[in-house]
Structure 1
Amino acid sequence: MEWRNYYMDVMFLPLALVMIVAYHLWLWHKTQTRPFFTTFGRDAHGRRLWVIAMIKDIDKKNIVAVQSLRNLIMGSTLMATSCILVCAGLGAVISSTYSIKKPINDTVFGAHGELMVGLKYAILLAMFSFSFLCHTFSIGFLNQLNILICTPQHVKSIVTSEYLSEILEKSILLNMVGNRLFYSALSLLLWIFGPLLAFLSSMALVIIFYNLDFLTGDCNNDVDNFIPNDV
């Protein structure tokens, strides 16, 4: 195993992974300190209000609640199915052509030995598998919420709006983690063709994430002034 065959993989792939992980750590910090500066903070606040509104008049809004949760379940089911299909495709590729038969220029596309090819597929399979696991857990919480949100409300009932909101937040968090793992694994699929492509795609993915996760404009300061920072 020579350095000249692996130096691009050793440099670019850790940079791509660190870039994605560091961005999400920064996103988590911003969501905790300035929740309404991010879409996750505002959505979490809206979901708590939605749960309170649903259980307050559940006799009239039970169909709306069930249909809304069903849409979330369908989205998680679609992503979980996509993860399994990608894993099956990668497994078929591994079983049919484990190694690249035609040599590729190492200085451009990095290493392509059997060990490196196996490592690439192992990392991708692990990411897609964990994404599938997160989505299945999310579906479980949503099914649980689908039943509990329609239970009759009583003064001594332990199924409170806070409990229902906690279940919903767990399912949304698992769904978000599964989605981010799926998208990150899709960008790393280009690692099969070279580490530089994986690094560039991860950089583009972080830029896309930033534009989706953060809000712009002067309205953020106004919102923080009159809504408590309780996300």
Structure 2
Amino acid sequence: MEAGWWKEDYLDIFLVPLGILLMLAYHLSLLYRYLKCPQTTIIGYENHNKRAWVERMYMVEAKDRGPALTVISSNITAATALSSICLVLSSIIGAWIGSSASNNTSIFTNSLIFGSTSRSMVFIKFISIISCFLVAFACFVQTARYFVHANFLISMPTNEVPVTCVVKEVIKGSNYWLTGIRSLFFATNLLLWIFGPIPMFCCSVIMVAVLVGVDRNTTPLHPYAPVKGSHDLSNKIDRGKNAVSNAFELLHHRSHDGSRSNA
């Protein structure tokens, strides 16, 4: 009987870290591919299109940027909703575990679970699940923050803000959104740990197999052509400086010619 108890503990010791390492290894490889060959990942494909979208929406007049503000506002609403859901789930899980501990009955210590049901292992499960939801909550809050800032910048009445600043805010918000979603994936794996280490490990393997196909991009990046009549702020400033300098030179030459004729 004692040997069987140790066997169940060994399942949690080996299968759970192995499942987490499998998820971490996949996401590290995904990050490497995104940094080295972004066109091969769906993240790089989406960010490429978002950059082009921001550049084109920023080229129109401020009064015509209503669709851009609507799109950004919808992203803010989605991030706010998911952050609220993560916070509520964290509170519910905490209250559920607290009530289960006080009543001395918990699904974590059910005899049907094939794995460790010790109090220390239950505490580790609790901390792991809550941590993933809190990380997702923080990421979604940051997502809303960056999109709100992008909303302010893109609604600027004049083009005094460079388009690169708006692109930077949108890409940062998208990256935090992606990190929050991936934290929810980890939380899903850890929730299945409630039913034992075997369901958790199987979920990790299945999720990685699905994400390999989802995160791979086979569509070539579209070479967006520059929009006719569009100008960047730096070009406008340079042309303005050149025009002012040419005007001063012209006035200087005219005044110099006039002084010569009078002489």
Higher radius of gyration, 1 or 2 = 2
Q: For the structure 1 residues 58 and 12, does the alpha-carbon distance in structure 2 shift closer, same or farther, using more than 3 Å as the test?
A: farther
CA distance in 1, matches of 2:198, 2:105: 18
Letter in 2 for 1:117: V
Letter in 1 for 2:14: M
Is 1:128 the counterpart of 2:133? The answer is yes
Could you tell me which residue of structure 2 aligns to residue 53 of structure 1?
56
1:16–1:203 Cα contact (<8 Å) kept = yes
| Unpaired segments ≥5 residues, structure 2 | 225-263
Could you tell me which residue of structure 2 aligns to residue 203 of structure 1?
205
Deviation at 1:135, TM superposition (A): 0.4
C-alpha distance after superposition, 1:149-181 (max 9, x if no partner): 111344xx3x21111111111111111101110
Deviation at 1:3, TM superposition (A): 4.0
Give secondary structure in 2 for the equivalent of 1:125: helix
Structure 2 counterparts to residues 84-163 of structure 1, below 5 A: 84-98=87-101, 100=105, 104=111, 109-154=114-159, 157=160, 159-163=161-165
Q: For the structure 1 residues 54 and 112, does the alpha-carbon distance in structure 2 shift closer, same or farther, using more than 3 Å as the test?
A: same
Deviation at 1:100, TM superposition (A): 5.0
For normalisation by structure 1, the TM-score amounts to 0.86
Give secondary structure in 2 for the equivalent of 1:109: coil
Q: For the structure 1 residues 58 and 180, does the alpha-carbon distance in structure 2 shift closer, same or farther, using more than 3 Å as the test?
A: farther
Could you tell me which residue of structure 2 aligns to residue 37 of structure 1?
40
1:188–1:202 Cα contact (<8 Å) kept = no
1:83–1:128 Cα contact (<8 Å) kept = yes
CA distance in 1, matches of 2:163, 2:24: 33
Between Structure 1 and Structure 2, how many residues are aligned?
A: 217
CA distance in 2, matches of 1:58, 1:40: 29
1:188–1:201 Cα contact (<8 Å) kept = no
Q: For the structure 1 residues 62 and 123, does the alpha-carbon distance in structure 2 shift closer, same or farther, using more than 3 Å as the test?
A: same
2:128–2:190 Cα contact (<8 Å) kept = no
Give secondary structure in 2 for the equivalent of 1:97: helix
Could you tell me which residue of structure 2 aligns to residue 194 of structure 1?
196
Deviation at 1:183, TM superposition (A): 1.9
2:62–2:157 Cα contact (<8 Å) kept = no
1:84–1:132 Cα contact (<8 Å) kept = yes
Letter in 2 for 1:141: Y
Deviation at 1:6, TM superposition (A): 1.5
Letter in 1 for 2:170: L
Could you tell me which residue of structure 1 aligns to residue 217 of structure 2?
215
CA distance in 2, matches of 1:73, 1:210: 28
Return the structure number with greater relative CO, CA threshold 8 A, min gap 6.
1
Query: Percentage identity across aligned positions?
Result: 26
| Unpaired segments ≥5 residues, structure 1 | none
